Chains A and B, each alone.
Chain A
Amino acid sequence: MSQPENKKELLNTWVNNYYGDLYRWAKFKISDSHLAEDLVQEVFLVAADNIEKFRNQSTPKTWLFKILNNKLVDQYRIKTNSKVHPMEERQLFELTDSLFDKNSNWASTSQSQVWNQNLDLDSELEQNLTQCMYSLPELWKKVVFEKYYENQDTDKICTTNDLSKANYWQIMHRMKLFLKDCIEKMVNKNH
């Protein structure tokens, strides 16, 4: 791996094989295509400089994703003045518990118009959805990405993330309760 030609070839293969996956993940996480492109570029520059350190202890894909995820964390720190932060799983369980009363029935039965498909509130819904997604815990974002973007089947998502099927539908349940509540609150605020 010390020969420059070999290194070039290796990088070439990595770019061809993993660029798309890295780019899509970065874009999903930060919702900014230019920034995503810059970050993935940096990932490969870091990889090029440190290629001697990569000794096939992990797969190249895992290694590159690790570099990218570090970059995404840095990016997140830079943007910490943003009002929204990813939450801990525990916080999200508490928050969604609070939507129910002591008998576990809905605490509030008022119905938000934002879900009324006859009203044309789609653009508002989508804008708020993007914002609310930021708050999801990292693992949940990953599950959302794999399910809705990559269309992976449930078994695969459960295996890669070390979840039981019950964990999985509980995450879906809490995620939707949270998104429903978050979107409704944002819509109320804007009206």
Chain B
Amino acid sequence: MKNFLFYSCKKATELIEKSKVINLNPIEKSRLAIHVSMCDSCRTYHQTSDILDRKLSEHLHQQTETESDLGEKKEALLKKLKIE
């Protein structure tokens, strides 16, 4: 793995994240593919990264209130502000 041709795991996992932001160039792409094909841990990292993406958006959206809930809260606040 020390060969200049090959990415380290740290670099490979960074490139996995980079590829989610911009397109990798062909050299990066093939070097990453070679690394991942030989490295179980980085393959797992890629899956974990996808799971985290999914969980983070689900998790944050679960916390969402419906618009009508928010409307009620707004009304209560407006009432309170008028009394003050």
Binding site for B on A (CB under 8 A): 8, 11-12, 15-16, 19-20, 23-24, 27-28, 31, 33, 37, 40-41, 44-45, 48, 100, 103-106, 109, 111, 115, 117, 125-126, 129-130, 144-145, 148-149, 151, 154, 165, 168-170, 172-173, 176-177, 179-180
A180–B44 CA distance with the chains assembled, in angstroms: 11
> Which residues of chain A are within 8 angstroms of B18 by Cβ–Cβ distance?
169, 173
Q: From residue A11, how far is it (CB to closest CB) to chain B in Å? A: 6
Q: Does more than half of chain A's interface fall in helix, strand or loop, or is it mixed?
A: helix
Q: Which of B16-34 contact A (CB under 8 A)?
A: 16-18, 20-22
| A111: contacting residue among B41, B57, B81, CB under 8 A | B41
Inter-chain contact B49/A126, CB cutoff 8 Å: no
* Total inter-chain residue pairs, C-beta < 8 Å: 114
- With A37-B73, A144-B60 already in contact, 11 other A-B pairs whose C-beta atoms are closer than 8 Å: A15-B78, A19-B70, A27-B65, A44-B77, A45-B84, A105-B10, A115-B51, A126-B59, A148-B56, A170-B14, A173-B18
Most B CB within 10 A of own CB, among A27, A100, A104, A168 = A104
Residues of B within 8 A of A (CB): 1-2, 8-11, 13-14, 16-18, 20-22, 40-42, 44-45, 47-49, 51-53, 55-57, 59-61, 63-65, 70, 73-74, 77-78, 80-82, 84
Query: What residues of A have a CB within 8 angstroms of the CB of B52 in the complex?
Result: 129, 176, 179-180
